[in-house]
Chains A and B, each alone.
Chain A
Amino acid sequence: MFGYYLDLALRSLRRHMVLGVLMMLAIALGIGASVTMLAVLHNLSGNPLPGRSDVLFHPQVDPRPEDLPGAKDEPPDDLAYVDAVNLYRLGIAPRRAVMSGNWLPVRKDAPDSPLAMYTDRATTADFFAMFGVPFLYGSAWSAQDDAGHAQVVVLSRAMNQQLFGGGDSVGKTLVIATKTFRVAGVIDDWNPQPHFYDLNDGAFGKAEQMYLPFFTWLDLPQDYGYGPMDCWGNDPNAGAHDPKAKQCTWAQFWVQLDTPAQVADYRAALVQYSTQQHQLGRFQRAPNVRLRGLLDWLDHKHVIPVTVRMQTWIAFSVLLICLVNTVGLMVAKFLRKAGEIGVRRALGASRRDVFAQCLVEAGVVGVAGGLLGLPLAWLGLWMVRQQPVNFAASAHLDPSMLGVALALAVLSALGAGLWPAWRASRVAPALQVKSL
């Protein structure tokens, strides 16, 4: 029966070509617009580290004064230097990394080589294992390197290409901010999106070009900034831009906690630490700690740009308009066929048969609209990628989104056809046959 209905549907569409094309075009445009935005949203709200996100946590403590005007309840996102070092030394988490980012002047270790600025992340040894960073050559530096302020660096694949022309550069040296560093490893392309471990510079964008030990980095002779600093109070030394100032938060801190028991222990340890600092007189507020998992953290920080959310809403209103449009056209079309349906009913077709026939026709329109909508969505995403916006580069249509798009098209066309088909199946055969 399905084959017969399909044949009928194609004939009917061919007979009312203009109407059929208009319906398909409407669905295609609606699907194209909504799938484009859905794909952008899907890419932006993805899990940056699938498989690892469940064990990564972001501890926060609150070192702010009691009476800070306009302060929210939420503790600062980042840690002050003292807290960063204390929590780093706490050592009860299986893995932990303290970090910050800026950019540094780098040149090859050869006379007269040109100086250029590269972005860097200063962090501690566990960063690589904890976040599952893939290495091409060599390996991460060790905890001893961290403790000994060793001058070692891990390069990104792209920076290794630029400075050393690719290849295994482990053991080679380069000059960073006037100091000589030895290459410990080269990592493969690695750029989790959103850039969860440090959202200060926007949640989407490029990965840093090199990684160096945090405490070595703090020793560098000049101030190249310590990432955005959030300071409070009327400190006379604030102009000196001192990273170790007690009233400035700027360092990111992440821990790996493998079991719920570890999470509970760590939370208790944070409260205990805050209490201790409170007793010492450094913390003025009662213990105010947070320990969010990676995905909770992203959710809390609202990483998806407001513009993208709004565009998605608009795209779905367009789809809704397209569907209303299709429903209207289908009602008109099926009602026009009242005579034909009357004859089929008089010859013995049940209401259910007529209903099925109409739905098949709606489904054909949906599949055709969806197939036409996919290239439109592809075109839309191509246009998004051309935009000079930092989240744009990651906009692409993956296979799962293709399936979603096609399913959305067929479902929406069937949804739009449901009611017109039901109405068509209610046609009274006698009345129609009489008027023929």
Chain B
Amino acid sequence: MEIRPILASLRKHRIPTVLIVLEIALTCAVLCNAVFMIGQRVAAIRLPNAIDERNLSMVTLGGTDEKTSGSDIPRNLAALRGIPGVQSAAVVSTLPLSHNNWGWSFGTRPDASTFDKKTVNFSLFFLGEGAEQALGLRLLEGRFFNADDYAGSSFGSAPLPETHVTLVTRSVAERLWPGQSALGKTYYSMPHYYTVVGVVADVLRPNIGSQGEDWSYYSAFFPLSAGGSKGNLRRYVLHSAPGDRGRVMRAAEQKLAALNPNGVTKGMLYTDMRDQYFADMRSMAWMLVLVCAVMLAVTAFGIVGLTSFWVGQRRRQIGIRRAVGASRGHIMQYFQTENFLLSGAGVVLGMALAYGINLYLMRHYETASMPWYYLPVSAVALWALGQLAVLGPALRAAAVPPVVATRSV
């Protein structure tokens, strides 16, 4: 295909040519960034979380007297375990993605304190006896807590529990002791210190931020006895078959309300809580998808409109070309190649623009850097859109009979 005549004709229609290239470039730039943002949000919504999410329901019990929790909690748990369908039940301080975060910074040196800049902040989860099984934590190394660990742990007047054992996630282990086994290692926040007895698969924090994926998994677990929990154990977790969750949760709410007349209960399925956590992101992702669709539609309209116009304008020339021997295929090819060149110029410009927008967003909105492959993928998508949009007008052009050449307009 000879492209010189195409370039010559485009040069004659310089203004519409520039405009359509500009439109494609803008679309390409916005598309790259929008698709990148959608991808980031989808990745966040799908972050893995190593607990049995689909088996969990929970009931929060508020307003009870913490002085009698030593006898209340075992009594409540015994009642919950009696509900048909409950495989295990336990009480915990907080859950991943619950927004209820208790963070503290620890270091690997014995003199580490919260004033130290080298410490690492993680979220603390306090577990009542049996919570490892009820949550479905996955042990990678070492052991879970034993009965002695539970009995020996309580809250004194300090904000950290009086115990010396802990479970950490794989991400914490790798952050504190890269390349080594974390088992038996100790982390500190003077005057407290905790020795790792087990490493579990990555569990999300109650609040995940934008500090990167590893940071979202900096969680540590501590045993806590019912009597020494000082009101920190309020979330009852029930493990059941997924189909039983709703019924189990309602029965648990009723039982806890009956046992604790001054208490207030609130039940929820874990999957619902997770959905709520990400509702914002999901809505933004859908919004972006819609905007992208609108934008692509408008660009396609533009290409259809302009090419149709050019086809109408060039009927006579098309007729002449047909009369002197060009086949229908040749005419189609002409318009397709023309569009290929226009889209090509547009996407090259658009990729540069997309990169620039990403740099701007990185500076002003704490967006991550866009991986390079978003650029060619969007470019190819726009190229394909252009070819699709030009198909209709090109077919109409190909249908122009040669006899048009002999008629005056």
Which A residues form the contact surface with B (CB < 8 A)? 18-19, 22-23, 25-26, 29-30, 32-33, 67, 69-70, 105, 115-117, 177-178, 222-224, 234, 236-240, 306-307, 309-311, 314-315, 317-318, 320-322, 324-325, 327-329, 331-333, 336, 383-384, 387-389, 392, 423
Cβ-defined partner of A318 (8 Å) among B30, B155, B310: B30
Say whether B63 contacts A325, CB under 8 Å.
Answer: no
Say whether B306 contacts A332, CB under 8 Å.
Answer: yes
Q: How far is the CA of A423 from the CA of B63 in the complex (A)?
A: 76
Rank and list the top 7 A-B pairs by shortest CB-CB distance, nearest first. Answer: A328-B19, A239-B159, A325-B302, A387-B283, A388-B279, A332-B309, A238-B159
In the assembled complex, 29 residue pairs joining A and B whose CB atoms fall closer than 8 Å, in A order, are: A19-B309, A26-B298, A26-B302, A29-B297, A29-B298, A33-B291, A105-B262, A115-B263, A117-B266, A234-B114, A234-B115, A239-B155, A309-B365, A317-B26, A318-B298, A321-B23, A321-B30, A324-B23, A324-B26, A325-B23, A325-B305, A328-B16, A328-B302, A329-B302, A329-B306, A336-B309, A336-B312, A336-B313, A423-B15
Interface string of B204-227 (1 = CB under 8 A from A): 000000000000000000000000
Residue of A nearest to B161 (CB): A239
Which B residues form the contact surface with A (CB < 8 A)? 15-16, 19-20, 22-23, 26-27, 29-30, 34, 37, 62-63, 65, 113-115, 117, 155-160, 190, 230-231, 261-264, 266, 276, 279-280, 283-284, 287-288, 290-291, 294-295, 297-299, 301-302, 304-306, 308-310, 312-313, 361, 365
B27: chain A residues at CB < 8 Å are: 321
Q: How far is the CA of A178 from the CA of B15 in the complex (A)?
A: 78
Cβ-defined partner of B291 (8 Å) among A22, A309, A318, A392: A318
B306: chain A residues at CB < 8 Å are: 328-329, 332
Say whether A327 contacts B19, CB under 8 Å.
Answer: yes
A222: chain B residues at CB < 8 Å are: 63, 65
Say whether A310 contacts B115, CB under 8 Å.
Answer: no
A30: chain B residues at CB < 8 Å are: 298
Q: How far is the CA of A280 from the CA of B230 in the complex (A)?
A: 35
Q: How far is the CA of A22 from the CA of B300 in the complex (A)?
A: 10
Q: How far is the CA of A306 from the CA of B302 in the complex (A)?
A: 31
Say whether A332 contacts B305, CB under 8 Å.
Answer: yes
CB proximity of A261 to chain B, nearest CB, Å:
39
CB proximity of B370 to chain A, nearest CB, Å:
14
B264: chain A residues at CB < 8 Å are: 105, 115-117
A67: chain B residues at CB < 8 Å are: 115
CB proximity of B288 to chain A, nearest CB, Å:
7
Q: How far is the CA of A411 from the CA of B156 in the complex (A)?
A: 69
A311: chain B residues at CB < 8 Å are: 284, 287-288, 291
A322: chain B residues at CB < 8 Å are: 298
CB proximity of B66 to chain A, nearest CB, Å:
8
A116: chain B residues at CB < 8 Å are: 264
Cβ-defined partner of B34 (8 Å) among A314, A389, A423: A314
Cβ-defined partner of A321 (8 Å) among B26, B65, B117, B262: B26
CB proximity of B231 to chain A, nearest CB, Å:
7
CB proximity of B50 to chain A, nearest CB, Å:
26
Say whether A310 contacts B37, CB under 8 Å.
Answer: yes
Say whether B63 contacts A115, CB under 8 Å.
Answer: yes
CB proximity of A24 to chain B, nearest CB, Å:
10
CB proximity of B29 to chain A, nearest CB, Å:
8
A234: chain B residues at CB < 8 Å are: 113-115, 190
CB proximity of A101 to chain B, nearest CB, Å:
16
Q: How far is the CA of A69 from the CA of B118 in the complex (A)?
A: 11
Say whether A29 contacts B294, CB under 8 Å.
Answer: yes
Residue of A nearest to B37 (CB): A310
B304: chain A residues at CB < 8 Å are: 22
Q: How far is the CA of A314 from the CA of B63 in the complex (A)?
A: 47
A224: chain B residues at CB < 8 Å are: 62-63
B294: chain A residues at CB < 8 Å are: 29, 32-33, 318
Residue of B nearest to A436 (CB): B409
Task: Known contacts A117-B62, A332-B306; decide if A318 and B295 are in contact (CB<8 Å).
Answer: yes
B190: chain A residues at CB < 8 Å are: 234
CB proximity of B350 to chain A, nearest CB, Å:
11
Residue of B nearest to A390 (CB): B280
Residue of B nearest to A317 (CB): B30
Say whether A19 contacts B157, CB under 8 Å.
Answer: no
Q: Given contacts A321-B23, A321-B26, could you give 19 more A-B pairs where the C-beta distance is less than 8 Å?
A: A18-B305, A22-B302, A29-B297, A30-B298, A115-B261, A117-B63, A234-B190, A236-B157, A239-B155, A239-B156, A314-B288, A325-B301, A325-B302, A327-B19, A328-B16, A331-B15, A331-B19, A332-B16, A383-B290
A32: chain B residues at CB < 8 Å are: 294
Say whether B305 contacts A22, CB under 8 Å.
Answer: yes
B15: chain A residues at CB < 8 Å are: 331, 423
Residue of A nearest to B276 (CB): A388
Q: How far is the CA of A223 from the CA of B294 in the complex (A)?
A: 52
Q: How far is the CA of A235 from the CA of B23 in the complex (A)?
A: 61
Residue of B nearest to A239 (CB): B159
Task: Known contacts A29-B298, A328-B20; decide if A239 and B157 are in contact (CB<8 Å).
Answer: yes
A29: chain B residues at CB < 8 Å are: 294, 297-298
B19: chain A residues at CB < 8 Å are: 324-325, 327-328, 331
CB proximity of A335 to chain B, nearest CB, Å:
8
Residue of B nearest to A333 (CB): B309
Residue of B nearest to A306 (CB): B365
CB proximity of B264 to chain A, nearest CB, Å:
5
Q: How far is the CA of A388 from the CA of B277 in the complex (A)?
A: 10
Say whether B280 contacts A23, CB under 8 Å.
Answer: no
Task: Known contacts A318-B294, A321-B23; decide if A307 and B284 are in contact (CB<8 Å).
Answer: yes
A105: chain B residues at CB < 8 Å are: 62-63, 262, 264
